[in-house]
Amino acid sequence: MAADALCRLTLRAAADGLRAGQFTSVDLTQALLDRIQALDARVGAYLTVTADRALAQAQAADQRRAAGQDGPLLGLPLAIKDVLTTQGVPTTCASRMLEGFVPPYDATAVARLNAAGAVMLGKTNMDEFAMGSSNEHSAVKPVRNPWNLAKAPGGSSGGSAAAVAADECLAALGSDTGGSVRQPAALCGCVGLKPTYGRISRYGLIAFASSLDQIGVLTKDVPDAALLLHVLAGRDPRDSTSANVPVPDYPAGLDRGVDGLRVGVAPQYFGAGLHPDVERCVRQAIDALQTAGAVQRPVSLPHTKYALPVYYVIAPSEASANLARYNGVKYGRSDPQATDVDEMMSRVRAQGFGSEVKRRIMLGTYALSSGYYDAYYLKAQQVRTLIKNDFETAFQDVDIIAAPTAPAPAFDLGAKLDDPVAMYRSDVMTLPASLAGLPCLSIPCGFVDDLPVGLQLIAPPFAERRLLQAARAYERARGTLAAPVRQVDVP
């Protein structure tokens, strides 16, 4: 099989080819490494490429297969967002603060990939400490959208989404705090799944906002997302927030269809600020689900309009607390030239953090300060409960909720850097479900101005199986989208 064809494979197709002996894991891994070498200078999806390690893992996988062994991801090359610790491989969160940090242990999600036989191609670029919606806040370099290199890929998991979209890996791990898997998945034209808060262990996920952060997956289709979730999900005693809830066999029964499935459509997701062509694509996708056997029902989520301000009080507040550890004493960079502790902390944080991280730390510190805690943080948590209650009420009448993933297609690089509020609005469609801790998925549903558009599906807590089945039904009803040529493929 030609190298370009190998790079375009899904996880399942690659696994079938490996089992049939059509190619080896070394062949597949080398093809992807060659593509990274050829393209990533233009895309910027990777911060670290672990070529030697990947080829050694691929060779070991081929030897295991030759010995009659198998595994759900045996010999399949993936990418890991640089917010997840990887033993012996730099983990920097795209920040100068963690420049040169090499963890002594793997995150649980990474360990589970290793146990399943996966090959790690490298660590992907991201907005610094996962704070951003465009992947322009990386301290190293921006990421570019493979469909149009002048456009943003979304963030903060923009490197993972771009790597999948550019066929620089078969799939990737990301993290989603307020939309950081789903929004770049929509803008880059891949599938992005954020499971229920607690479904996947956060052990080894470097914290941004601990009550919101969740590891997610970015893949080329829905069955691959189901496969990865099945490998990653489950209780972990090292993470007190991981849920002790049974893990279904997500790949099994994926094609059961949506006959009688009640799909909720909320007007709050279709108001001002939504690009009219994005709305057209999303409504056509909902109609396709109805044609496949689902039933549309109106629902109301009245507190959705408060999600943006609520999130930008809670998340920065938690970031302020989590990032306080980077003070030059125990974690991150230090400054041996400082004359006292106060000077060292001030200089280290000024040099180590980028502008967006500093902005959020200041917002959060203010919201938590004496005299303002009740007015801001406590009030935001109370409204968060109202948002969660809205979803609980809606799910008494419907099985899933369908909405746009992002209000518009990918925007120009640099277009929103000087307007933080405009950048924050890029996540307005994804924030409510994050605040409620719900599982949600973005799937491509069309193109606007030759750029991908995403349909977002939201399900009740721990109903990922229902979510994946609905997404798969739409994927089958949609068929292969008529897509423009990706600019990254043009010499």
Q: What is the DSSP string of 437-479?
A: T--EEEEEEEEETTEEEEEEEE-STT-HHHHHHHHHHHHHHH-
80 membership: H or E segment, kind and range: strand 77-81
Does residue 25 have an active-site annotation?
no
Question: To 10 degrees, what angle do helices 11-19 and 25-43 make?
Answer: 150
Angle at 215 between CA 266 and CA 75, to 5 degrees: 125
Indicate the SS3 state at residue 56.
helix
Q: Which of 134, 138, 180, 201 is catalytic?
A: 180
Does residue 355 have an active-site annotation?
no
Q: Which of 25, 81, 95, 123 is catalytic?
A: 81
Task: Give, in order, the Cα–Cα distances in Å from 454 to each of 190, 212, 250, 334.
Answer: 8, 22, 22, 42
Which residues, 6 or more positions from 378, have their beta carbon under 8 angstroms from its beta carbon? Answer: none
Q: Which of 133, 134, 156, 434 is catalytic?
A: 156
Taking only Cα atoms into account, the Rg of the chain, rounded to an integer number of angstroms, comes to 21
Long-range contacts from 55-60, C-beta under 8 angstroms, 24+ separation = 55/26, 55/29, 55/30, 57/29, 57/118, 57/119, 57/120, 58/24, 58/25, 58/26, 58/28, 58/29, 58/30, 58/119, 59/25, 59/26
Does residue 194 have an active-site annotation?
no
Neighbours of 70 (CB within 10 A): 13
Catalytic residue list: 81, 156, 180
